[in-house]
Amino acid sequence: MAVNWLARLAAAAPAPVFTCIGPGIQAAVERLCLSPALDRVATPRAAAILLVAGEIPDHAQEALDRVHDQVPHPRQTFRWDGTGDPEPALRDLWRDLAAGGDTETDRRPDAPPNDWCGVGPHGQGGKGMMGGTPYGRPMAMTADDPRDGLALDAYTARLGPFVPMLPPGLVLEVTLQGDVIVSAEVRAAPFAQPDDASAPDFCAARMLRLVGLPRDADRVARGARLRAITALRAIPEGLGRHDGQDARGRLAGWLAGERGPEAAPALATLLPGLEWSEAMLVINSFSPATLAHVAISKEDA
């Protein structure tokens, strides 16, 4: 009784959905997530439903499984091919989950990525902070910092293909020191998306969401005109300058309904030296079509 009442109350909230977007379906998913019945969350940890949109290519399947396993129980996967309106089905699914419905088991093996090996009876150590592989991952080693040459730990990781703030499919291998990007390399190009994903409204909405204005982002994606002067001020001047226009200028252009530049510098030359938040703003200040073009031409080279 009490549980049912609580479950009904919980089910009235927007369904927390984490989206994994495949080729050709980005604009449709972003349009779907404008619905007040859905809450597009930033990490799988905050989600209950994993929305898999479109055909995920084979090379991204393992990454999809990894994201799937990070959704907390009870969880369900919902596959959508872009046709029809999936909202009623998603609402039903969320109602079941809120009442503690069925869950899905892990797809990846329940084992650490490496053996926890090191010096000592429990493999807990080595020399100073350098030894062992706690939780299956080796400790970071030092490298020269690009700012002032202090030798400090570098963190290398592959991001994507389902990071919400990057175009779907893009896999970036970045090396960070603190929050500064030391190097960046494109490992997989973004999935091909039709032209509607690069519409000025959607591009502007992505950037507004990134600077923390989700309501304004929704308004712009629905086609409302917005001056967003505060949002423009939130983006540092001169950031990601290309062809005489910086990230702020490109957002202003989108808000005025103009299409952005067709060409962009390679991400490997654009990102190093930027802080993480700046880098995400710079990437999102180019349309998905432009980024796909840049990444593919770089892979050919």
Task: Enumerate binding residues for another protein (CB under 8 A).
Answer: 2-3, 6-7, 20, 43-45, 60, 62-64, 66-67, 69-70, 72-74, 100, 103, 106-113, 129, 133-142, 145, 148, 150, 152-153, 155-164, 166, 171, 177-178
Helix (H, G, I), strand (E, B) or coil at 206: helix
Minimum CB separation of residue 182 from another protein in Å reads 12
The minimum distance between CB 239 and another protein, in angstroms, equals 17
Distance in Å, CB of 225 to another protein, minimum: 32
Nearer to another protein, 93 or 228 (CB): 93
What is the chain's alpha carbon radius of gyration, rounded to the nearest angstrom? 21
Is residue 240 a contact partner of residue 247, using CB atoms and an 8 Å limit?
A: yes
Shorter beta-carbon distance to another protein: residue 46 or 229: 46
CB 166, min distance to another protein, A: 7
245 DSSP β-pair partners: 242
Quote the strand ranges of the chain, DSSP E: 15-21, 38-40, 49-53, 76-80, 142-144, 151-153, 155-159, 171-177, 180-188
Closest distance of CB 74 from another protein, Å: 5
The answer to whether 268 touches 185, Cβ cutoff 8 Å, is yes
Min dist CB 219 to another protein, Å, is 27
User: With respect to another protein, which residue has the nearer C-beta, 139 or 234?
Assistant: 139
What is the residue whose two structure tokens read 């998306």?
193
Number of CB atoms found within 10 A of residue 239's CB = 16
- Are the C-beta atoms of 239 and 281 separated by less than 8 Å? yes
Given a contact cutoff of 8 angstroms between Cβ atoms, the answer to whether 32 and 87 are in contact is yes
Q: What are phi and psi of 252, to 5 degrees?
A: -60, -40
What's the DSSP call for residue 58? G
Quick one: DSSP state of residue 245? B
The minimum distance between CB 125 and another protein, in angstroms, equals 13
Identity of the amino acid at 111: A
For residues 113 and 238, which CB has a smaller minimum distance to another protein in the complex? 113
Backbone angles phi, psi at 152, to 5 degrees: -135, 170
* DSSP percent split of the chain into helix, strand, coil, nearest 5: 35, 15, 45
**Distance in Å, CB of 172 to another protein, minimum:** 8
Q: Of 251 and 267, which has the nearer Cβ to another protein? A: 267
Closest CA to 41 of 10, 64, 20, 55: 20
Q: Which is nearer to another protein, 178 or 257 (CB)?
A: 178
